[in-house]
Amino acid sequence: MFKRETKNFINIDPLQTGGILTKEARETLMEWGDGYSICDFCQGRLDEIKTPPIYNFVHNDLPKFLGCDVARVTNGAREGKFIVMHSLALKTVKDAYVILDGNAHYSSYVAAERANLKVVEVPKTDYPDFRINVDTYAETIEETKKKGEVILSLLTYPDGNYGNLPNAKAIAKVCHEYDIPLLLNCAYAIGRMPVKMDKIDADFIVGSGHKSMAASGPIGVLGMKEDYAELVLRKSDKYKNKEVELLGCTARGATIMTLIASFPHVKKRVKDWDREVEKARWFAKKMEELEIVQLGDKPHNHDLMFFHAENLYEISRRVKGGRFFLYRELKAKKIHGIKPGLTRYFKLSTYMVPKEDLKYVLETFKEIIAKYLKGIKS
């Protein structure tokens, strides 16, 4: 078997901290791992399976959790975004536009490309905040509407680079003033922090099971207002109960069972969000004492943080092996999550990482800096 080298490392990879399985999800993988096991008693559609209790999860628990009218499970957040864009594109002439915030994940852009939509991005503010402002969002819509039809706006909440949380409610209001629906990409929110589509008054919401809901991927969730269900979940003209955009069924495997298995834990953990934010802020403060500056929203409101380390960059320019020294040092200390080769700018996440482990991470950064600065000076 291929061993996972980093399995017992301290994990500060933003992509991974929210996707570590619960004990229940791990047991579930053993029970439901076989291909199509969940289809034992299927009557024709994934979300309607009663045994195991997928129906109850998709039609009761999930809409309540997302604050939406109608929900489905998808193969991931990006697949959810494409489902929405591809459906809305049906109603338009050619060359319609999607507005994306300037911090959008690449997959939002690619989903729009796949749906043959044009993309306009809302500019973010410059270093060091990289913020998406409501006014700029409004101006971008205004300008784009002059060029053509805008069928959807998307907001990344928070984004995956800086962990910034823009004013989603105000942006939703702006979008609706222009009669444009808003899709929230909450891949880093749903399952980590409290977020409800209806409170923000968005029209669509997507989340990621493997990124933030302690599930084995690929799996995602999609929520929407009732008004859009008929279009987005339109049925096949020949196979009357099959939803076209979902190709009949999406996460037809153990992935959905791990999502369900972790769900009670996930519902509980979002309530501890304040403590996670407090811990993130504490970590950022300690990093800044090492002259590693946290960028983006400040004080920060999310566990995903972006740092600027001029000192580590200086070291990388002088040491043997160059920019990979930081990765090697962290690996030697069994810390995983900062991409190999990065030193000057990098992101990390403190989500669900015990404070003791974070202290060890901070201590390690301190030691690395001391060791190499000494080396450079001597």
- Site residues for a second copy, 233-262, by CB under 8 A, read 236-239, 242, 244-245, 247-248, 250-255, 257-258, 260-261
Would you say 251 and 242 are in contact if contact means Cβ atoms under 8 Å apart? no
Would you say 223 and 63 are in contact if contact means Cβ atoms under 8 Å apart? yes
Least spacing, CB of residue 340 vs a second copy, in Å: 7
Distance CA 126, CA 110 (A): 24
Instruction: Give yes or no for residue 34 binding a second copy (CB under 8 A).
Output: yes
Q: Enumerate residues 319-358 that contact a second copy by CB under 8 A.
A: 336, 340
Q: Enumerate residues 41-60 that contact a second copy by CB under 8 A.
A: 41, 51-53
Instruction: Give yes or no for residue 370 binding a second copy (CB under 8 A).
Output: no
Cα within 13 Å of Cα(200), Cβ side? 29
Q: State the binding string over 204-223 for a second copy (x if CB under 8 A, else -).
A: ----xxxx--xxxxxx----
Burial of 5 (0-12, 13-18, 19+ CB in 10 A): exposed
Least spacing, CB of residue 358 vs a second copy, in Å: 19
- The 8-class DSSP code of residue 339 comes to P
Q: Which long-range contacts (CB under 8 A, 24 or more apart) does 115-124 make?
A: 115/82, 115/85, 115/86, 115/89, 116/89, 117/85, 117/89, 117/151, 117/152, 118/148, 120/144
Instruction: Give yes or no for residue 192 binding a second copy (CB under 8 A).
Output: no
> How far is the CA of 364 from the CAs of 10, 77, 166, 307, 338, in angstroms?
12, 34, 32, 16, 13
- Using the contact rule CB under 8 A, the part of the chain among 144-152, 157-165, 231-239, 299-307 near a second copy is 231-239
Least spacing, CB of residue 333 vs a second copy, in Å: 16
Nearer of residues 78 and 225 to a second copy, judged by Cβ: 78
How many residues bind a second copy, per CB under 8 A?
80
Instruction: Give yes or no for residue 160 binding a second copy (CB under 8 A).
Output: no
Q: State the binding string over 64-103 for a second copy (x if CB under 8 A, else -).
A: -----------xx-xx--x---x---x-------------
